[in-house]
Amino acid sequence: MQIDLQQAHERVTVLAPKGRLDMSSAPAFRERVKQLVESGSAQLVVDLGEVTFVDSSGLGAVIGGLKVARQAGGDLRIARPNQQVLLVLDLTSLNRVLRPYGTLEEALASF
Amino acid sequence: MEPSKKPSPASDPTVYAEGCTAASDHLDAVHATLARFWGGLSTPPDEQWRLRFEVAVSEIAANIVEHARPPVMFFRLTSIAGCVVAEFRDAGQGWNGPPEPANVLDELDELAALERLAERGRGLTLARRSVDEVEYERVGTSNHWRLMKRL
The answer to whether residue B9 sits within a structural domain is no
Residue-range definition of the domain harbouring residue B35: 15-150
pLDDT band at B101 (very low <50, low <70, confident <90, very high): very low
Q: Is A54 helix (H, G, I), strand (E, B) or coil?
A: strand
Residue B113 has pLDDT above 80, yes or no: no
Nearest partner of B76 among B21, B139, B136, judged by Cα: B21
Give me the phi and psi of B80, to 5 degrees please.
Answer: -115, 170
Residue B4 has pLDDT above 90, yes or no: no
Contact across the interface for A59 and B122, Cβ inside 8 Å: yes
Select the residue of B51, B62, B121 nearest A84 (Cβ to Cβ). Answer: B51
Select the residue of B47, B108, B123 nearest A96 (Cβ to Cβ). Answer: B108
Q: Is A99 touching B (CB cutoff 8 A)?
A: no
| CA distances in angstroms from A48 to A52, A87, A110, B72, B111, listed in the order given | 8, 14, 16, 31, 24
The answer to whether residue B22 sits within a structural domain is yes
pLDDT band at B104 (very low <50, low <70, confident <90, very high): low
Q: Is B146 touching A (CB cutoff 8 A)?
A: no
Distance from CA of B118 to the nearest CA of A (A): 7
pTM of the shown model? 0.84
Domains and CATH numbers, chain A: 3-106 (3.30.750.24)
**Distance, CA of B4 to CA of A33 (rounded, Å):** 37
User: Which residues, 6 or more positions from A61, have their beta carbon under 8 angstroms from its beta carbon?
Assistant: A21, A26, A27, A29, A30, A33, B119
* Complex-level ipTM: 0.88
Q: For the segment B63-79, what is each residue's pLDDT rounded down to a tens digit? A: 888 888 887 888 899 99
Question: What pairing do the DSSP bridges indicate for beta strands A51-54 and A19-21?
Answer: parallel
Read off the CATH number of the domain in which B145 is found.
Answer: 3.30.565.10
Chain B residue numbers touching A54 (CB-CB < 8 A): none
Percent of chain B, pLDDT > 70?
Answer: 70
- pLDDT score at B108: 53
Q: For the segment B50-67, what is each residue's pLDDT rounded down to a tens digit? A: 999 999 999 999 888 888
User: Which residues, 6 or more positions from B50, have their beta carbon under 8 angstroms from its beta carbon?
Assistant: B38, B44
- Helices (H) then strands (E): counts for chain B: 4, 5
Q: For the segment A56-103, what is each residue's pLDDT rounded down to a tens digit? A: 999 999 999 999 999 999 999 999 999 999 999 999 988 888 989 999
- pLDDT score at B98: 53
pLDDT band at B85 (very low <50, low <70, confident <90, very high): very high
Q: For the segment B19-40, what is each residue's pLDDT rounded down to a tens digit? A: 666 555 677 888 888 998 998 8
Residue A14 has pLDDT above 90, yes or no: yes
- Per the structure, how many domains does chain B have? 1
